């Protein structure tokens, strides 16, 4: 079985069995959202909260791709901060500060307002994989402190690492107590349920096979259509819509996760004493956390050729054992993978595909929080408040004028380069 279709821990612990119908026949709405992942449901809910009529179409089931298969790490800010600051200058720097914790705030507000049970927990650590990596973490901490925004941040050294993250392999790190982790599938299901209570209509097993923008935006599906004033392409774009400003912007990369058997409480406290989500500081990262039922969810990028490992468990187990030697023989109950969208400059891609057709994609592993930030940015733009949207849409992306095969070879070479950098 392919890792992309393997059963996940999240699916096994989903708490909402609701299935939504296929779209049959024509419907109308103010806004049609294409994509039922984190981006789509977050945007649909926000627009419904603001009184718009919304139709969301999803090709399969809600969150059946990266949104329901990711590591569940809720990380502050946007990826590609360096790119954003270089390209957008002071305005970009101010925007980064304005939105740094906005995605987390939106999720926390919705979890409370709509009683979404998604195991939301505060606390995230970036751990220095090399002594040289501490310099960047210290600089980030000092920058935050200079801005008066470091009350929730703690810098720690190598001698404190085991007490923070339960392992001595790191050379220090930084704790962010406003970031955290959650069950991403249950978040999507909860936000979708909330959107429907506000009048949004959701259709599963309803792929968008054609769209047109302009003065009469329209989305065609196999058995129906949606006429709307605005269309939002939410999340990684289907190849059929990869044209114009989206052409060659991102490539899919594989990421893989194993979930152990539940650990006893003593061992769980020993290896993750504060129940933090953890990611190392490498470019090709390992990331892991504890589930609500005390399983270690351990993920990372296992290869650099975009080919799935033949034996996912045995590929991931040595990485887990390196971090936590006591878990070298632990039973693995789930193993799965998926694809996330990588932009070459690591900054999100947001803009207009055609008149009245918005897009957002390429969140580079930070999609849980970024999806909510971008959903709000696009919702504001639809309502005429486009300052943030216009600024982010100015980001220049590296575009690969190649097909998927050649693109993957470039990606493989690039990932190998970065992996070698991680070794030094």
Domain locations in the chain?
9-70+185-250+345-416, 119-182+251-343
Summarize pLDDT for 183-217 with one digit per residue, the tens.
999 999 999 999 999 999 999 999 999 999 999 99
Model confidence at 422: pLDDT above 60: no
pLDDT of residue 368: 97
Residues 6 or more apart from 259 whose CB is under 8 A from it?
Answer: 8, 9, 291, 295, 296, 297, 298, 332, 333, 334, 335
pLDDT of residue 343: 86
Q: What is the share, in percent, of the chain residues with pLDDT greater than 90?
A: 78
Least confident of 33-47, 80-94, 327-341: 327-341
Q: Is 416 helix (H, G, I), strand (E, B) or coil?
A: helix
- For the domain 119-182+251-343, what is the CATH code? 3.30.9.10
Model confidence at 407: pLDDT above 90: no
pLDDT of residue 305: 57
Helices (H), 324-403: 367-382, 387-392
Model confidence at 89: pLDDT above 90: yes
pLDDT of residue 335: 96
Model confidence at 239: pLDDT above 80: no
Mean pLDDT of 145-152: 91
pLDDT of residue 255: 87
From the CA atom positions of the chain, what is the Rg in Å?
21
Mean pLDDT of 68-91: 96
Q: Which two tokens stand for residue 152?
A: 């929730």
Least confident of 7-11, 103-107, 226-230, 396-400: 396-400
pLDDT of residue 420: 45
pLDDT of residue 417: 45
* Inter-residue contact 306 to 337 (CB < 8 Å): no
- For the domain 9-70+185-250+345-416, what is the CATH code? 3.50.50.60
Model confidence at 230: pLDDT above 60: yes
Cα separation, 311 vs 317, in Å, equals 10
Residue at token pair 């468990």: 313
* Angle CA 366–38–410, to nearest 5: 50
* Inter-residue contact 38 to 46 (CB < 8 Å): no
Model confidence at 52: pLDDT above 60: yes
Cα separation, 279 vs 300, in Å, equals 9
Q: Sorting pLDDT into bands at 50, 70 and 90, what band is 24?
A: very high
* Inter-residue contact 191 to 185 (CB < 8 Å): no
Distances (CA, A) of 169 to 128, 165, 351, 356: 9, 10, 42, 50
Model confidence at 423: pLDDT above 50: no
Summarize pLDDT for 271-312 with one digit per residue, the tens.
999 999 999 999 888 999 999 999 999 998 655 456 778 889
Cα separation, 29 vs 418, in Å, equals 45
Least confident of 138-147, 303-312, 316-325, 378-387: 303-312
Average pLDDT value for the chain: 91
Model confidence at 2: pLDDT above 80: no
Cα separation, 226 vs 219, in Å, equals 5
pLDDT of residue 149: 87
Q: Is 361 helix (H, G, I), strand (E, B) or coil?
A: strand
Q: How many CB atoms lie within 10 A of CB 209?
A: 14
């Amino acid at each position: 079985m392919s890792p992309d279709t393997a059963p996940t821990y999240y699916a096994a612990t989903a708490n909402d069995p609701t299935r939504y119908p296929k779209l049959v026949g024509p419907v109308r709405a103010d806004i049609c959202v294409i994509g039922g992942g984190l981006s789509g449901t977050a945007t649909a809910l926000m627009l419904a909260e603001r009184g718009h009529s919304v139709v969301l179409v999803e090709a399969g089931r809600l969150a059946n791709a990266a949104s329901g298969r990711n590591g569940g790490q809720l990380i502050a800010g946007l990826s590609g901060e360096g790119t954003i600051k270089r390209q957008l200058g002071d305005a970009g720097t101010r925007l980064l500060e304005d939105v740094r914790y906005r995605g987390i705030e939106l999720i926390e507000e919705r979890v409370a307002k709509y009683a979404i049970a998604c195991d939301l927990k505060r606390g995230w650590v970036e751990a220095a994989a090399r002594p040289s990596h501490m310099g960047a973490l210290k600089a980030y901490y000092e920058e935050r402190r200079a801005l008066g925004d470091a009350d929730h941040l703690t810098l720690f050294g190598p001698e404190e690492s085991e007490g923070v993250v339960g392992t001595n392999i790191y050379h220090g790190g930084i704790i962010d107590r406003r970031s955290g982790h959650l069950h991403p599938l249950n978040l999507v299901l909860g936000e979708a349920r909330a959107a429907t209570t506000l009048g949004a209509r959701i259709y599963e097993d309803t792929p968008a096979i054609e769209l047109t923008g302009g003065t009469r935006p329209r989305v065609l599906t196999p058995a129906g259509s949606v006429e709307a004033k605005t269309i939002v392409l939410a999340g990684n774009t289907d190849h059929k819509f990869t044209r114009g400003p989206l052409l060659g912007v991102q490539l899919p990369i594989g990421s893989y996760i194993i979930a152990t058997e539940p650990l006893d409480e003593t061992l769980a406290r020993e290896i993750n004493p504060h129940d933090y989500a953890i990611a190392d500081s490498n470019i090709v990262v390992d990331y892991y956390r504890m589930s609500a039922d005390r399983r270690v969810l351990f993920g990372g990028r296992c290869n650099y050729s975009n080919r799935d490992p033949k034996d996912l468990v045995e590929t991931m187990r040595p990485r887990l054992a390196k971090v936590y030697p006591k878990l070298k023989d632990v039973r693995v109950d789930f193993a799965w993978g998926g694809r996330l969208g990588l932009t070459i400059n690591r900054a999100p891609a947001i803009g207009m595909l055609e008149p009245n057709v918005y897009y957002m994609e390429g969140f580079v592993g930070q999609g849980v929080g970024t999806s909510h930030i971008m959903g709000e940015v696009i919702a504001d733009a639809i309502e005429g408040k486009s300052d943030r949207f216009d600024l982010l849409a100015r980001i220049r992306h590296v575009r690969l004028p190649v097909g998927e095969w050649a693109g993957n070879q470039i990606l493989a070479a690039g990932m190998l380069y970065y992996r070698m950098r991680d070794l030094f």
